[in-house]
Amino acid sequence: MTDAITEAAARWHAAQADDAMDWNGFTDWLEQSPAHQAAYDAVALLDDRIDRAIPAMRDLLPEDEPVAPRRHLRLVGWSAAAAVLIGAIGLGTWHGAQPGAADIALYRAPAGQTRAVALADGSRATLAPGATLRVSNGAQVALEGKGYFDIRHDPAHPFTVTAGAYQIRDIGTRFEVVSDAGMLRVAVAEGTVGVTSRTANGEIRVSAGRTLTAFAADQLAEVRTTPPAPVAAWRGGRFSYDNEPLGLVAADISRYAGAPVLIDGVLARRRFSGIIAPGSRAVMVRNLEQLTGLDATTEGDAIRLGNRTGG
Amino acid sequence: MQIYQESRGELLRFLTARVGDRAEAEDLLHDLWLRIQSTDAGPIANGRSYLYRAAQNLVLDRARARQRRLVRETEWSGLGSDHAEPADPRADIEAEIAAREDAAALAAALAKLPDKAGQVFRLHKLDGLPHAEIAARLGISRSGVEKHIATAMTHLRRALDGGTT
């Protein structure tokens, strides 16, 4: 197989991120020769292989390598209130260094970028664009938004993630958490986690290959087999959903784009399935409009999704 | 679903070209239909692009399962019949372990990419930036971004797939 054919296959593959993809042209190209089809297969499998290897690959690359230049601030000895403020405006990491005081660090991934965070004992988290993680004493973390966790299990120091009204307790595992607007999704890649909610009784166990989706904190409902899209596909820059609340989808786009996308309570609980290509907020919202039949209107710097007027 | 009915013919042609087998393409199209049907509660009017991407994912799922089966048969040929269901969580874990072993080779190959292709590839894959944003940041066109990514993939394929596939 020549490099020229591989390169052509890779061009077709790369073009698919764009909604303007020429699918008919791609079909024509595939029909031209079995070698084209074989080359495309190889490229698609290689890309899949790369996506799967990326979390492990991050471990091998220098942490927060300034591939894309970004600012880091490390302030020592400020008050916790200052830490919260700095976290909120997204300037990076803060460490409380007062002797005996709780050790709190705040991490925030800026819009459009993921961020790797090293936790205690070799555990790691990857934050999706716009997500915030607050770490207290190395093992209690609070997440806002979407994050992927790779946790070394230590029975003496159980690890918990708090996400709004929910708590996720690990039993030595790798999992993805998405939380927003009172909703939660936990997808487990390896091991088992236990999920509790402030307003529901009992703990629900979620094991490898399963996904828990909660539409509201008082009803810890669905645990299903994880859909075929790989866990945490967003790390490869894709947004794919299978029967998930629209509220989480809107929150994903807001965080990714760094500008608000709003959706009302009732609609936020509606289910959505589909794939949204990453892009500007306007493009992603337009894509979502097409897939849901909802209408977007502009409100100041926010975009609000609502029912089609008159319908 | 209307868009599915409208696109059925072209999707079948696409899938046939994609997998090189008409019967398998029909089977995949049926899977696609079931998948759309099973997302009943949702307010979905699936766009054409969504259908094509979903079809692509189904093909990839099958290719992945086939590859996994192949690896198992090679590794444990003595163990007799083996069922490699795509939903088997153990298979996912094996894939994750394989990915970890792969990571070292990938990181090494990544370091050897041509400058610009390597930069674009890292911005996209590791930093998760969309093509449009990379284009804006580097002052190049979107198709320029796609070209760099294609160049990177070609290099990586030469470096990684050479011996194994």
Q: Where are the beta strands (DSSP E) in B19-109?
A: none
In A9-28, the residues whose Cβ lies within 8 Å of chain B are 10-11, 13-19, 21, 23-24, 26-27
Write out chain A residues lying below 8 Å of B128, CB-based. 112-114, 128-129, 234-237, 278
Give this prediction's pTM. 0.48
Inspect the interface and report whether the beta carbons of B96 and A14 lie closer than 8 Å: no
In A76-105, the residues whose Cβ lies within 8 Å of chain B are none
CA nearest to A244 within chain B: B42
Question: How far from A124 is each of A24, A95, A148, A264, B127, CA to CA, in Å?
Answer: 43, 17, 8, 34, 16
Inspect the interface and report whether the beta carbons of A228 and B57 lie closer than 8 Å: yes
**Burial of A25 per CB tally in 10 Å (0-12, 13-18, 19+):** exposed
Stretch among A149-158, A275-284, B11-20, B43-52 having the lowest mean pLDDT: B43-52
Q: For residue A67, give the nearest of B46, B58, B122 by CB distance.
A: B122
In three-state secondary structure terms, B101 is helix
In three-state secondary structure terms, B103 is helix
Distance of alpha carbon A13 from alpha carbon A34, whole angstroms: 17
In A187-216, the residues whose Cβ lies within 8 Å of chain B are 189-190, 207-210
**pLDDT exceeds 70 at position B39:** no
Q: Is A33 left (phi over 0), alpha (psi -120 to 50) or beta?
A: beta
Q: For residue A47, give the nearest of B39, B153, B158 by CB distance.
A: B153
Q: For residue A18, give the nearest of B60, B125, B142 by CB distance.
A: B142
- Model pLDDT for residues A16-52, shown as the tens digit of each residue: 877 778 999 999 999 999 999 999 999 998 888 887 7
The domain locations on chain B are 1-87, 89-165
Inspect the interface and report whether the beta carbons of A53 and B154 lie closer than 8 Å: no
Pick the CATH number of A67-234 from 2.60.40.1180, 3.40.50.300, 2.60.120.1440, 3.30.420.10: 2.60.120.1440
CA nearest to A284 within chain B: B130
CATH architecture group of domain A238-311: 3-Layer(bab) Sandwich (3.55)
Q: How confident is the model at residue B19 (pLDDT cuts 50, 70, 90)?
A: very high
Would you state the structure tokens that stand for residue A40, as one six-digit string?
Answer: 């495309």
Inspect the interface and report whether the beta carbons of A10 and B149 lie closer than 8 Å: yes
List of residues 6+ apart from B47 with CB closer than 8 A: A19, A287, A290, A291, B3
Give how far the C-alpha of residue A110 lies from the chain's centroid of Cα atoms, to the nearest Å.
13
CA nearest to B150 within chain A: A10
DSSP symbol at A172: S
CATH dotted code for B89-165: 1.10.10.10
Query: 10 Å Cβ neighbour count for B101?
Result: 11
Would you state the structure tokens that stand for residue A30, as one six-digit string?
Answer: 């595939």
In B19-38, the residues whose Cβ lies within 8 Å of chain A are 19-20
Amino acid at A67: V
pLDDT (tens place) for every residue of chain A, 311 residues total: 578 999 999 999 999 877 778 999 999 999 999 999 999 999 998 888 887 777 667 666 544 433 333 333 222 222 232 223 333 232 333 333 333 345 667 888 877 778 888 887 778 888 887 788 888 766 678 888 888 888 876 767 778 888 887 888 876 678 888 887 678 888 887 778 888 877 666 778 888 878 888 877 666 557 777 765 545 555 555 577 777 888 888 888 887 777 888 887 778 888 888 778 777 888 889 888 888 888 888 888 888 988 876 44
Would you state the structure tokens that stand for residue B128, as one six-digit string?
Answer: 């998760």
Inspect the interface and report whether the beta carbons of B42 and A270 lie closer than 8 Å: yes
Tell me if chain B has a CB within 8 Å of the CB of A307.
no
Give the residue from B50, B128, B158 showing the smallest Cα distance to A241.
B50
